Structure 1
Amino acid sequence: MPITSRDREILRLAVPAFGALVAEPLFLLADYAIVGHGLGTAAVGALGVAGAVLATLVNLCVFLAYGTTASVSRQTGAGNHDQAMRSGVNGIWLALAIGVAVIAVVWPLAPTLVELFGANPAQSEQAVTYLRISLLGAPGMLVVLAGTGVLRGLQDTVTPLVVAVGSFALNAALNAWFVLGLHWGIAGSAWGTVLAQTLGAAVYLVAVARGARRLGTPLTPDPRGVRQAGTAGFALLIRTVCLRIVLLAATVIATRMGEAELAAYAIATQVWTLLAFALDAIAIAGQAITGRSLGAGDVAATRAATKRMVQWGIWSGVVLALLVIAARPVLPGLFDADPHVTELLLAVLWPVALFQPVCGVVFVLDGVLIGAGDQRYLAWAGVWTTLAYLPAALAASGLGVVALWCALGVWMLARLVTLTLRAAGPAWLVTGA
């Protein structure tokens, strides 16, 4: 595949985004390794349960990044730089408000949320501890999402890379110190994450404030703009709820299969997340390029860029599948998995690998349609693909963790169909600011 000027633009945005996206699951894998070596299999399962709850909370608010990227990039493409920054500032204020609300609502509900997964008492106690401490970092987590969206919309994916690598490296170092050095148990892992997230958010606040000062954009919240940011994100919220229903249902089913099955599923999920974030780098480029080109009224460039990014997604998925197959024999040892968990994990990694080319196309088209502001279609598509997944998941519940991952493959195939049909038509190609 010869490199063209369009490829160079995609790579300029996607390569730093790749580094930023991969940094998170890499250091989460480090957290799992630290907890596994220091605290054992029960703690790894507890981390998987608490992590699923936290991931749900963060992903429900992913519109703070995706919606902000789409609005800021579209305004940038139309030449409205002050309005682009105003959208970003309002997104950050919305993130702070939601973060405080998350702490107030979820803290008392933590035991109930953990109980929904059916974890055993040893896992439940540790999961509640981890979840409650981690909630203190919710405002920071959400500010990072909004700040990332602002910079991506401004076609800057380098700064998010620097912040991500720095904060997640600090997270891994603090977790190792607190868990293995100070012996704080699973609480140490949570405190390390909270401190790293809060410092990362502070860096984003400084970066956005500097950009706003250069443009003369006020940093005070605009109540109308904040409401509009929340309203615009509602359809993305529906889409994300559907995604989380799928992943939470899989976690619940894995939990009820047994401790070893849950541990294998939790580790495989982190591997899959790492791969998903790697592929999502092209989707991030898709959001920024699509929003900017449609804002500038260039439909032909949007079509051409979409076609090229789909090609990149397919080949990237093939490469990642081969990497998983090659790394498969050594992955269980990284987590000090016992023999039963190792056997299950080795089997699960086959479907994880084989569905990567499908994931490559799905993530690219998802990013393109988000960048186009086609959130309403994505919300409805999310509902239909979830309905396609749930019967497959229920059928897999009595067949083991490998069947559960095959059910997730059914979900990805359903997403491939809905996104491809939409991208082939003209309805999402709306131009202007």
Structure 2
Amino acid sequence: MPPSRTPVPGTGKRAGEHAERRARQRADRRAARRAARRHDREIVSLALPAFGALVAEPLFLMVDSAIVGHLGTPQLAGLAVAAALLTTAVNVFVFLAYATTAAVSRRVGAGDLPAAIRQGMDGIWLALLLGAALVAVVLPTAPALAELFGASATAAPHAVTYLRISALGIPAMLVVLAATGVLRGLQNTRTPLYVAIGGFAANAALNAGLVYGAGLGIAGSAWGTVLAQCGMAAVYLLVVVRGARRHGASLRPDAAGIRACARAGVPLLIRTLSLRAILLIATAVAARLGDAEIAAHQVVLGLWSLMAFALDAIAIAGQAIIGRLLGAGDVTAARAAERRMIQWGIAAGVVLGLLIVVSRPLILPLFTPDPAVHALLLPALLVVALVQPISGVVFVLDGVLMGAGDGTYLAGAMLVTLAVFAPLAFAVPALGGGLTALWWVMGVMMAVRMLTLWLRSRSGRWIVTGATR
């Protein structure tokens, strides 16, 4: 018979503890996987419609350009100048969407829907006031603005015509921004998508009918865009007003609430202006390098912007989700959502980078047949592809901190980024660098942004719970 074995004291207990620990670890992993799937569904449900709405907006200008371009080169040149002015004026106030999303989503998380809608109405009233002020500035100064932006003698009259008529739609454009922020804060990105698609279709039909059918020329294009934007604003207001009545929220302007929205928007305005300055500096430096360089830069910048739409969609989801979770006081879920969105950002950046590399043979002839421009585009596009994963992290953390209402830090971080970028960019032509060197500097700019945002994320000082920050 085999010798009997005497159990070592405590062995069975330790084995039981190990088994229990392994069981807990398996349960934790299952819970983590369920949470990740839940976050994935929420990110996709918010980001996909947001991406569609973001892409639909630039199509307005493409339709206008396609229709006006058949009128003649002076008309198209005038449209280019006027559209650049209008786009800059409106995009400077994009904080109307971002700040409103963060404020409304916090109230939603806190379970106070009437206050959330009331907060959104304050943003809409602020948009109307800013829009009226812009109209008052643009109408009398349209000729001077067209001249300042370099419109030629033949293009300037068309630029002034388009600018003065389109300026009447600025209040509607800003209302669309603010109302989009309201709906995003309410975790609704589908309605903005539907409105953007409807607005795009209406804009195309109105432009064609007024330019060619009514024979109004470039003025018809401007009126078509104004009517489409006003229609979009009206739909948004109808949705928000219905929500306000359903939840008993006041629709009247509240001076204190409007001032609070303006104060919350100032840091994001500084952030936006700093980012615009970076892009303008990059374009100015590219122009100094030569005609082929600025042409190639314009193509690369356009593709960079297109990639940004996809990454910005994840950031928009981050604003809405983080704001809601912090409003509800759920810090653990907010941290988990942040980690998952960073993974999404990196994955999206890798995919977009690979798409750029694979599609380069198709991209080059699509924009220009010039071999000199092709030679400049190839290495610059490779830099853009390599930087996309970094961009994915930047956009996500930007959205997380916006959703947390951490605008003051975002403004400071962007000023630091501008201070690093500007001397490096201006040094490119001074040191004999070319377009590829300039885009490496753009990559450094994104790396600096990632570092500043990552440090803030790690510090946890952005985590403030409750209905308001």
Kept in 2, the 8 Å contact 1:72–1:154? The answer is yes
Residue 229 of structure 2: aligned partner: 197
RMSD: 3.1
Kept in 2, the 8 Å contact 1:320–1:353? The answer is yes
Kept in 2, the 8 Å contact 1:148–1:160? The answer is yes
Counterparts of residues 162-177 of structure 1 (less than 5 Å): 162-175=194-207
Do structure 1's residue 57 and structure 2's residue 96 form an aligned pair? Answer: no
Residue 426 of structure 2: aligned partner: 394
Q: Which moved more, 1:397-406 or 1:150-159?
A: 397-406
Deviations 1:271-327 (A, max 9, x none): 332221211111111001111111111111111100110110111112222333344
Do structure 1's residue 86 and structure 2's residue 155 form an aligned pair? Answer: no
Residue 419 of structure 1: aligned partner: 453
Do structure 1's residue 6 and structure 2's residue 39 form an aligned pair? Answer: yes
Residue 303 of structure 1: aligned partner: 335
Q: Which moved more, 1:118-127 or 1:18-27?
A: 118-127
| Per-residue deviation, 1:262 | 5.2
Residue 389 of structure 2: aligned partner: 357
1:179/1:386 Cα in 2 relative to 1: closer, same or farther (>3 Å)? farther
Counterparts of residues 309-320 of structure 1 (less than 5 Å): 309-320=341-352
Equivalent of 1:67 in 96, 99, 102: 99
Deviations 1:344-392 (A, max 9, x none): 7844544443332222111111010000011110010111111112123
Residue 370 of structure 2: aligned partner: 339
3-state DSSP class of the match of 1:355? Answer: helix
Quick one: which amino acid aligns to residue 218 of structure 1?
S
Quick one: which amino acid aligns to residue 82 of structure 1?
P
Do structure 1's residue 20 and structure 2's residue 53 form an aligned pair? Answer: yes
Do structure 1's residue 225 and structure 2's residue 272 form an aligned pair? Answer: no
Counterparts of residues 15-54 of structure 1 (less than 5 Å): 15-32=48-65, 39=72, 49-54=81-86
- How far apart, CA to CA, are the structure 2 residues paired with 1:37 and 1:326? 34
Quick one: which amino acid aligns to residue 14 of structure 1?
A
Counterparts of residues 109-124 of structure 1 (less than 5 Å): 109-118=141-150
1:131/1:253 Cα in 2 relative to 1: closer, same or farther (>3 Å)? farther
1:413/1:318 Cα in 2 relative to 1: closer, same or farther (>3 Å)? same
Larger Rg: 2
Quick one: which amino acid aligns to residue 425 of structure 1?
S
Residue 266 of structure 2: aligned partner: 234
- How far apart, CA to CA, are the structure 2 residues paired with 1:295 and 1:150? 15
Deviations 1:37-82 (A, max 9, x none): 7645x77666555444333222221111111111110011011111
Quick one: which amino acid aligns to residue 343 of structure 1?
H
Q: Which moved more, 1:197-206 or 1:265-274?
A: 265-274
Equivalent of 1:210 in 242, 245, 256: 242
Quick one: which amino acid aligns to residue 460 of structure 2?
P
Residue 24 of structure 2: aligned partner: none
| Per-residue deviation, 1:134 | 2.7
Kept in 2, the 8 Å contact 1:74–1:293? The answer is yes
Residue 179 of structure 2: aligned partner: 147
3-state DSSP class of the match of 1:4? Answer: helix
Residue 11 of structure 2: aligned partner: none
Q: Which moved more, 1:12-21 or 1:102-111?
A: 102-111
Kept in 1, the 8 Å contact 2:300–2:377? The answer is no
Q: Give the fraction of aligned pairs with identical amino acids, expressed as a percent.
A: 59
Quick one: which amino acid aligns to residue 339 of structure 1?
D
Q: Which moved more, 1:241-250 or 1:19-28?
A: 19-28
Deviations 1:91-146 (A, max 9, x none): 11110110111111133344444555556555656544443333222111100001
TM-score, normalised to structure 1's length?
Answer: 0.88
Give structure 2 stretches of 5+ with no counterpart. Answer: 1-31
- How far apart, CA to CA, are the structure 2 residues paired with 1:269 and 1:190? 26
Kept in 2, the 8 Å contact 1:65–1:149? The answer is yes
Residue 104 of structure 1: aligned partner: 136
Bigger RCO of structures 1 and 2 (CA < 8 A, at least 6 apart): 1
- How far apart, CA to CA, are the structure 2 residues paired with 1:179 and 1:397? 44
Residue 16 of structure 2: aligned partner: none
Counterparts of residues 276-291 of structure 1 (less than 5 Å): 276-291=308-323
3-state DSSP class of the match of 2:102? Answer: helix
Kept in 2, the 8 Å contact 1:93–1:221? The answer is yes
- How far apart, CA to CA, are the structure 1 residues paired with 2:377 and 2:72? 22
- How far apart, CA to CA, are the structure 2 residues paired with 1:210 and 1:103? 28
Kept in 1, the 8 Å contact 2:331–2:465? The answer is yes
Do structure 1's residue 430 and structure 2's residue 464 form an aligned pair? Answer: yes
Number of residue pairs matched? 431
